[in-house]
Amino acid sequence: MTQVVFDRRRVNGPEESHIPSFDSKDDEIWSLGQPRNGRGQTDIRLLFLQPRLIDQANGSAYVETQRTKIACAVYGPRQSKNTAYNEKGRLNVEVKFAPFSCDRRKTPMRDAEDRSIGVAIYQALVSSLRLELIPKSSIDVFLTIIEADGLEGCIASGTIAASTALADAGIEMMGLVMSCAASIMGKEIWLDPNEEEARSSTGVLVLSCMPALGTITSVWQSGRMKTDEVLKCMDVCQEKCADIHSVVAQILLEKV
Amino acid sequence: MASTMTPISPQEQEALKASIFQRLHPRIYLERFLSENIRPDGRDFDVWRDVFVNVGSITTADGSALVRLGNTTIVCGVKAEIAEPELDRALEGFLVPNLDLPAICSPKFKPGPPTEEAQVLSDRLNEVLLASGMLPLSSLCIHPGKAAWVLYVDATCINYDGNAFDATLIAMVAALKNTQLPKATFDQESGTTTCSRKTKMPLEITRTPVSMSFGIFDSTHILSDPTAFEEPLLDTTLSVVLDSDGQLISLSQLGLGSSGAQNSLQSCMTAAKKRRGELAQYI
Burial code (b: 16+ CB inside 10 Å, e: under 16) for A147-175 equals: bbbbbbbbbbbbbbbbbbbbbbbbbebeb
Cβ–Cβ below 8 Å for A55 and B196: no
Residue B3's pLDDT band (boundaries 50, 70, 90)? very low
Cβ–Cβ below 8 Å for A105 and B75: no
Please report, in tens digits, the pLDDT of each residue of chain A (256 residues total): 455 457 888 888 888 888 988 887 776 666 666 777 778 888 899 999 999 989 899 999 999 998 999 999 999 899 887 778 888 999 999 999 999 999 888 888 767 788 999 999 999 999 999 999 999 899 999 999 999 999 999 999 999 999 999 999 999 999 999 999 999 988 889 999 999 889 889 999 999 999 999 999 999 999 999 999 999 999 999 999 999 999 999 999 998 6
Any CB–CB contact under 8 A between B8 and chain A? no
Q: Tell me how far apart the 2 most distant CA atoms of chain A are, in Å.
A: 60
Q: How far is B267 from chain A (nearest CA, A)?
A: 32
Chain B interface test: which of A4, A10, A53, A137 (most B C-beta within 10 Å): A10
pLDDT for the residue A220: 94
Any CB–CB contact under 8 A between B99 and chain A? no
Residues 6+ apart with CB under 8 A from B82: A17, A18, A19, A20, B142, B147, B148, B149, B150, B184, B193
* pLDDT tens by residue, B35-65: 999 999 999 999 999 999 999 999 999 999 9
Q: Among residues 55-84 of chain B, which lie with CB inside 8 Å of chain A? A: 58-61, 64, 71, 75, 77-84
Asked if B247 and B234 touch (Cβ cutoff 8 Å), the reply is no
Domains of chain B, residue spans: 51-202
Chain B: residue whose CA lies nearest to A13: B96
Chain A residues lying within 8 Å of B84, measured CB to CB: 14, 16
pLDDT for the residue A70: 96
Cβ–Cβ below 8 Å for A140 and B159: no
Residue B214's DSSP bridge partners are: B224, B238
Asked if A233 and A189 touch (Cβ cutoff 8 Å), the reply is yes
Of A17, A53, A103, the CB nearest to B60: A103
Chain B residues lying within 8 Å of A76, measured CB to CB: none
Angle, to 10 degrees, between the axis of helix B10-24 and the axis of helix B26-35?
110
pLDDT surpasses 70 at B258: no
pLDDT for the residue A186: 86
For domain B51-202, give the CATH superfamily: GHMP Kinase, N-terminal domain (3.30.230.70)
Q: What count of other Cβ atoms lies within 10 Å of the Cβ of residue B222?
A: 18
Of B82, B103, B159, the CB nearest to A55: B159
Cβ–Cβ below 8 Å for B196 and A22: yes
pLDDT surpasses 60 at B73: yes
Cβ–Cβ below 8 Å for A19 and B86: no
Nearest 5 degrees, angle CA A162-CA A166-CA A169? 140
Chain A residues lying within 8 Å of B150, measured CB to CB: 13-14, 17
DSSP string of A24-54, one letter each residue: S--TT---TTSPPSSS-TTPPPPEEEEE---
Which domains are present in chain A? 44-255 (3.30.230.70)
Q: How far is A254 from chain B (nearest CA, A)?
A: 17
CA A245 to each of CA A43, A53, A190, A219: distance values in angstroms, whole numbers, following the listed order: 15, 20, 20, 17
Q: How far is A216 from chain B (nearest CA, A)?
A: 25
Average pLDDT in chain B: 91
Any CB–CB contact under 8 A between B217 and chain A? no
Chain B interface test: which of A78, A81, A100, A137 (most B C-beta within 10 Å): A100
